[in-house]
Structures are given as C-alpha cells and as structure tokens.
Structure 1
Amino acid sequence: MNLGRRVLLASGLSVLLLLVAVGYVVVAGHRGSAPAVAATTVDASPGPRILFRSTDPGSMGRVATVGSGQRPGPRTVSGVACNRVYAAAGTVICLRPDGPLATYQLAVLDARLKEVQTYPLVGVPNRARVSPSGHWLAWTVFVTGDSYNGGRFSTRVGMINTVTGDTVDTLETFAVTLNGRPYRAADLNFWGVTFAGDRTFYATMSTGGRRYLVVGDVTARTVRTLVSNVECPSLSPDGTRIAFKSARDGDPSKGWRLSVLDLATMHRTALAETRSVDDQAAWLGNAEVMYAVRRGTKASDVWSVPADGSGAPTKLIPDAESPASLAAS
C-alpha cells in the first residue's frame, strides 16, 4: 500500500468541524503569508539550538531556530510554515493546511526542512511529537462526530514509523487497562503523546469525565493507567520525570497548573509558573521546562522555568510557540 495515499485517522467530520477548520485555514494561511522576513536555511540537526514556530507578525507560522544558550538571541527563520512543529534526531514533523480547503497534512521533513513525505490528515492539528530516534511520529487532532460527545470536539492520536511504515490510526483500538483491570468504553479519548523510545510512550487518556496518564506499548498495542489528572505529558531526556499540566481542582474551566511528576515515586512538584499553561511543555535539558504562554489569539511567547519547583519563569523566546530542544538526549 502507498502510505502517502493513506488517510490517517480517518473519521467522519461534522459540519461544525468543517466550518471551524475553514476558519483555521484562512487564519493560518494569512499567518504564513507575511514576507517581511527573508527565509534562510534552518538547521534542525542535533545541536545546541531550539526549534520553534514563529508568531512574530513578520514571520507568522514559519519554522525557526535560536541558540539554546542565548536568551533570547537572534533567530534564524525558514520559509516553511506549520501549525505545529517538533523535531528530534534530525527528523521534523510539521502539521499544516493542505491546500485551500479545510484539510490538513502531516509533512515529514529532514534536518534542512526538505520535504521527505506527506500524509493526508483528518482533523484540526493540536499536538506533535517525534521519538528520540526520529523514527516514530505522533500527532493529536481535534475531530467531531463521536455520538457520545454531543457534537463537541474529541481528540484522536495517530502514529507512524518513518522507517518501517507501520501506522497507528488511533489509540482507541489499543487494549486498555484502567487501575489494573481491562477496560472498554465508547468515550475513550487520547492526546499529547511523548515517547520514551521506539516502543514505549506516554499519553493522556480521558474516560468517564476523568483524565489519566497512561503508558503505552506500540508493539503490543496496549495502554495502562498510571495516575489521574495528568495532561499533555512530556518525558525528560533522562527518562525519569514527566512535565505536565493538571486541571486546577480537577476542573479545566479553572485553568491548568504546570507540574513535574517523578516516575519512580509518583511525587508531583508544582512549578514556579502560576499562570494557566494550556500547552504540552518541552524539556530544555534535564533541569528546565519550556512552554508557550498565549497573549491573544495569534501571539505567544516561549517561557522556561526550573523543573524542581524553584526559581521564577523567564521569557525564553518572544513571539514563539511549539518549542523543541535539538540537543541530543
């Protein structure tokens, strides 16, 4: 089968999703059209740099880099535009509109942001991750049409191995163990994958009105719950901790608190960032966490904070989002 023609995460989209996605494409297209900054060659290979999506008005949506030792330092801006971007081991995942209609695609790019392959994608892009080896890509999209959800948005997670061509159309087909027991439910939702390797991953699962951190096995096609009230996990380079957002008092309407979970003890440490952070954080080495804070519908900045709960938030990259440290783990 030609994987380039395969529709990933195929599911029925309602009129609501179509209208929302059309609006999103129009905005995204406008964001990527500003030519004020000359495009240059961006290096996404392993090194002391941070890859990100620019939200500067002159380069809105473009993929860029900045030296990780400079705060903020000069940025290098490419001519490639993405709605979400992430990179590891010289492989870049770019979620972007696919033409003028309300459709999207996943683009696999090399370290020079040259297109390697594209795959049709159903849903509105939300999260993106690459495994440490650069082989596995994961993404989260918003979809509608689930009968249990009353027309509201649901999430889907998909994965693809760029070496073997193996795909996971949705985690909802995986065998689920909830609190030590096999579990099935129509309302299962998954989002926010982070990889521990080419087999093990972590993600968020929701069911019955609760959110859980799950650990999954791509080969065995299984997931099992670890703890509750953990969303958008991000595994530290040393594999010992997970940065995450948790709903305040378990209620997302009250916002989220950025925290770190020790996987050995399951101890949670609230970080010094007290603003509501609705993002999947990324690690800057093993001692810092970076994340985007929005300031309006289009603009955002990338901030960082110590991972041990000390210190104070620092603006790392102005006019940026979707950060990924390119330092080899």
Structure 2
Amino acid sequence: MTPRRRVLLAALVSVVLLGGAVAYVLVAGHRGDRPAVAAAAVDAGPGDRVLFRSTAAAGYGRVGTVARGSGSGARQLSDLDCVRVYAAAGRGICLRPDGPLTTYQLAVVDASLRVQDTYPLVGVPNRARVSPSGNVLAFTVFVTGDSYNGGRFSTRAGTINLATRETADSLELFSVVRDGKPYRAVDVNYWGVTFLDDRHFYATLSTAGKRYLVAGDLTTQSVRTLAENVECPSLSPDRTRIAFKEAIRGDPAKGWRLTVLDLATMRRTPLAETRGVDDQAAWYDDHTVMYAVRRGSRGADVWSVPADGSGAPHLLIPDAESPAALWN
C-alpha cells in the first residue's frame, strides 16, 4: 500500500422499504498501487482511429485501434484487457475484472492506454462513457439485491470528474422532475449516461415500468424527463440527436429497434438495423451510428448504419465491440 493512499469515492446508500433497510456500496476508489503497464504501441489519443475491444480468439478482451475507414485492416492491440472501454480527448475508461473473483474495477487510462488510477466497482460492467473534454467518466453496472425488484438485476450509474475530483456516486440520489412535476420513488433506476459537456448529460431513467430519456445536471444533481421509451442513449457529435434503443411497441419483451431522436423536434427515425444491438452504440460521425452485434456468447462485430434511416447495415470492424471514434 502506498503512503499516499486516498479514498476518492465511497457511496453507501440505504433504501428503506416496508420497514426494512437495504444497503449497498456502489464504488470505492483509490489510486492504484500497481505500476502503470505500457500498452503495445497503441495510440488512443485524438486522431483518425477507432478504439475497440477485441473479440477475436487471439487477443480476446484486449483494447485496440484500427485506422478510420480501414476496419477490416491491420489492428493495433494493447496489453490492456477490458470488458467495456471508451475514450475521448486522450483519456479513457476501462471496466475490467479485478482479480480471480467475480469483482470488477474502473481503470482510468491515458492516451497510451497506461493505467493512471483504479476504482473498485460493485456490479457487472454494462456501459462506459467519457465526456468530450476527457474530464468526466461515467459507468453503468448491473447489480442485484434491490428489495423492490424481487432479486432481479437492476442497474447503477455514476460519474467521476477527474478535473475537480467531484463524484456522483449514484444518479439515484439526484432529484427528479417527471412530466414537469417533482417525482420520488424507490424503484428509480438509471443507465446509459452520455455527455453533452462536463456538467450536462443524458441518460435512461426507469420507474414504474416505464423508461425515460432524461436530461441531467451534475452540478445541481437533478434530472428531468424528456421522452418515454428511450434506452441506452448516445449523443451525436454535433449535439443535436440521440441514438438509442427503442422497445418495439413499447415492450422490451418484443425486442428493441435502433432509432435516432432529433432533440429539437423530438422526431424519431428508426434506423435500417433491425437486429438486436449492444447497449453501447456510438456515433462514427454526424451521419453514421456504429454498434456491436453479438455472435454467440463471446463473439461480436461492430456494424454501422446511416443515421437518417436510409441505407443498410455495413460491417465496420469484425471481431470487435465497444467502439469509440477518436476523432469526435
């Protein structure tokens, strides 16, 4: 243990329901005691490359890059293993296993994919995001044990501002305005944070059997609902549209359709991709959405599709998932 050990983030939230109390810790962090491990000549800084997690048999789970427009070409793989990865402005987030047990951690990495800091996570990684400046990281994990949920999986989402050291341990602590009125409920659940800037974000809020797109403010610790039936949002580089998963006919049991929402008009455009897609869709550019499609339990490929509903899906990067366009 280094003498400079410091606790940056610890959340202990008690939820009282029917006279009982359920306590859980979301994330507790300290600067990693392990030395930084150099990646194998991989540049994750701004540039014409796509960052991804490899699902190929050789190098499974390792983070790599491919040149823009050359998704099927030569890839550069690092020594960094992640379950989820994302990067922006020369800083990355890696959600990865932490030791031999079923535990995980959030690793902060630099433009060379060297680990700079680590935070233990409680829950199974689902999604990772970085604000456009590279200053704020967001995570979503799956957890169990919520008394209102009958032992089924719930999600937890939080943020870490690396510039100010401010944290949002769980978005469930934020105040909510639903349909213009203050709202409180024990079953409020969040996932899928996507950033407008270091302060403002969008995410999915679930409560009372409905799923909403919310606009959030990290400074005031508040959110407000914008639209129903929006899951796993991803903000476009020009900040005008949200790519998301829309439950077919409002019922997740029927599957989801990749869709784009215009934030000015609230008009929805279903995209040409009709298969089930991964929760971490991202924008390739202002005209194209990219996303992973699973192949069995371990395989996946990154595909792309026009954001205006035209065209057809195109294989972008084989044997890959968790894409991030490093030029955005």
Length-normalised TM-score, structure 1: 0.89
Q: 1:211 to 1:5 in 2, by over 3 A?
A: same
298-307 or 67-76, which deviates more: 67-76
Q: 1:283 to 1:4 in 2, by over 3 A?
A: farther
Superposed displacement of residue 166, structure 1: 0.6
Contact persistence 1:244–1:281 (CA under 8 A): yes
Per-residue displacement from partner, 1:14-58 (whole Å, max 9, x unpaired)? xxxxxxxxxxxxxxxxxxxxxxxxx73110100010000000011
State the match for 1:153 in structure 2.
Answer: 153
State the match for 2:320 in structure 1.
Answer: 320
Contact persistence 2:9–2:167 (CA under 8 A): no
Distance 2:311 2:288 in 1: 11
State the match for 2:223 in structure 1.
Answer: 223
| Secondary structure of 1:202's aligned partner | strand
Distance 2:322 2:70 in 1: 18
Q: 1:245 to 1:9 in 2, by over 3 A?
A: farther
Per-residue displacement from partner, 1:112-158 (whole Å, max 9, x unpaired)? 01111111111111000000000000000011111100011110001
Contact persistence 1:3–1:119 (CA under 8 A): no
Superposed displacement of residue 71, structure 1: 3.7
Superposed displacement of residue 11, structure 1: 6.5
Q: Does 1:127 align with 2:135?
A: no
Structure with the higher helix share, 1 or 2: 1
| Secondary structure of 1:118's aligned partner | strand
| Secondary structure of 2:249's aligned partner | helix
Q: Does 1:98 align with 2:108?
A: no
Superposed displacement of residue 255, structure 1: 1.1
State the match for 1:235 in structure 2.
Answer: 235
Contact persistence 1:8–1:120 (CA under 8 A): no
State the match for 2:202 in structure 1.
Answer: 202
| Secondary structure of 2:274's aligned partner | coil
Distance 2:253 2:6 in 1: 39
Distance 2:156 2:98 in 1: 19
Structure 2 portions without partners, runs of 5+ = 15-38
| Secondary structure of 2:58's aligned partner | helix
Distance 2:321 2:205 in 1: 24
Q: 1:46 to 1:313 in 2, by over 3 A?
A: same
State the match for 1:30 in structure 2.
Answer: none
| Secondary structure of 1:172's aligned partner | helix
Q: 1:193 to 1:3 in 2, by over 3 A?
A: farther
Per-residue displacement from partner, 1:163-182 (whole Å, max 9, x unpaired)? 11111110011010000000
Q: 1:73 to 1:242 in 2, by over 3 A?
A: same
State the match for 1:170 in structure 2.
Answer: 170
Aligned AA (1:315): L
Superposed displacement of residue 285, structure 1: 1.0
State the match for 1:272 in structure 2.
Answer: 272
CA RMSD of aligned residues (A): 1.5
| Secondary structure of 1:253's aligned partner | helix
Q: 1:137 to 1:248 in 2, by over 3 A?
A: same
Structure 1 portions without partners, runs of 5+ = 13-38
| Secondary structure of 1:257's aligned partner | strand
State the match for 1:15 in structure 2.
Answer: none
Distance 1:198 1:225 in 2: 20
Structure with the higher strand share, 1 or 2: 2
Aligned AA (1:130): V
Length-normalised TM-score, structure 2: 0.89
Contact persistence 2:196–2:235 (CA under 8 A): yes
Contact persistence 2:71–2:318 (CA under 8 A): no
